[in-house]
Amino acid sequence: MRLKRRYLSLLLLLSVGAALTLYAFLQWASLAVLVGGLAFTVLLGIYFFSFLQKSSQIEKLVREKTEQLRTEIVERRRAEEELRLKTEALERSNKELEQFAYVASHDLQEPLRKIVAFGDRLKELRAESLGERGSDYLGRMRDAAFRMQKLIQDLLAFSRVTRQVQTFETVNLETLIYDVLTDLEVRIKKSGGRVEVGKLPAVHADPFQMRQLFQNLIANALKYSKKGEPPRVHIRSENVHNGFVEVAVEDGGIGFEERYLEQIFQPFQRLHSREEYEGSGMGLAICHKIVARHGGKITAKSEPGTGSTFIVTLPTS
């Protein structure tokens, strides 16, 4: 309909041009005026016709682009809705898994406590009648129960990272790490180690989880030292940029191959046997989860035999 009106306008323009030309010819009786007027009218009509053609093409292109944009918007909204539903399903699944881990771990502790308690009673009352082999079996049973207890406690700690949280506040890392070193004082003295702490900034964080994070990292640095060498640990602030700070925990221990970098932050993953180094393989997984909850990241640089440097990136505000 719009195109039809435009062509009618073209015909009206040509008619008016022809009428004016005829009027001028009758007024001045000049053949030149007639020819010139008709030529001008024809040229004007050609120009206007070309303009109508281009206008139609532009309108068609605009309609096509508008329809394409409308389709893209619909598809994007559909994709966003699918992503929202999948995200909600994933969050529900994670909460259910955390709830299961918490309940299962909590309920498993009581039977283990009884195993340890009755094992101790059996050792007290029947130590002589058990004999060497019986005592060995009993000791292995108690050791396995203690390992399971430690594993359950670490699993509970892992699930509590997102279950039991405190409000974020300004945390002075330097003060917090000195408090952690006080808690680790016996272990540091026993190993003959030394921990040096550089100037550290404040961060916006959950103070309890920051304590948990750096206690795990420092304890690992002390544990994975070279045989026969006292551990040396240095904690420093790398740099501050774009509202984030990098804190490095560096040791001169046994190190590891960086191809295992992603693996060491997964739950229950170990690079060494329990006979070599104790632990459940949950410490770094807890660290990774804490840092992720704070919107930061954790990584490491290491080579076998030269030590490791764990780098934690945290928001300052």
| Whole-angstrom distance, CA of residue 297 vs CA of residue 306 | 23
| Whole-angstrom distance, CA of residue 96 vs CA of residue 93 | 5
| Whole-angstrom distance, CA of residue 221 vs CA of residue 184 | 12
Strands (E), the chain: 169-172, 194-197, 202-205, 232-241, 244-251, 297-303, 307-315
Laid out side by side, the sheet with 194-197 consists of 194-197, 232-241, 244-251, 307-315, 297-303
| Whole-angstrom distance, CA of residue 27 vs CA of residue 21 | 10
**Beta bridge partner(s), residue 196:** 234
pTM above 0.75, yes or no: no
* Token pair recorded at residue 148: 């399971």
Q: Which of 96, 141, 102, 99 is nearest to 120 (CA)?
A: 141
Whether the pLDDT of residue 156 is over 80: the answer is no
| Whole-angstrom distance, CA of residue 45 vs CA of residue 10 | 7
pLDDT at 288: 92
Instruction: Give 71-114 pLDDT, tens digit per residue.
Output: 888 888 888 888 888 888 877 777 776 676 666 666 777 777 78
Phi, psi of 312 (to 5 degrees): -110, 125
Whether the pLDDT of residue 301 is over 70: the answer is yes
Whether the pLDDT of residue 236 is over 70: the answer is yes
Mean pLDDT of 228-243: 85
State the Rg of the chain over Cα.
39
Q: For strands 232-241 and 194-197, give the pairing.
A: parallel
307: which DSSP letter?
Answer: E
Instruction: Please report the DSSP string for 44-69 in residue order.
Output: HHHHHHHHHHHHHHHHHHHHHHHHHH
Tell how far CA 271 is from the center of its chain: 24
* Token pair recorded at residue 181: 């070193």
| Whole-angstrom distance, CA of residue 232 vs CA of residue 193 | 6
Confidence of residue 247 (pLDDT cuts 50, 70, 90): very high
| Whole-angstrom distance, CA of residue 247 vs CA of residue 84 | 34
pLDDT at 8: 57
The number of CA neighbours under 13 Å toward the Cβ of 42 is 6
Give the SS3 label for residue 189. helix
Q: Bigger pLDDT: 268 or 168?
A: 168
Give the SS3 label for residue 316. coil
Phi, psi of 29 (to 5 degrees): 50, 45
Mean pLDDT of 159-180: 81
pLDDT at 286: 87
pLDDT at 313: 92
* % of the chain at pLDDT higher than 70: 73
pLDDT at 151: 72
| Whole-angstrom distance, CA of residue 68 vs CA of residue 276 | 64
**Beta bridge partner(s), residue 171:** 203
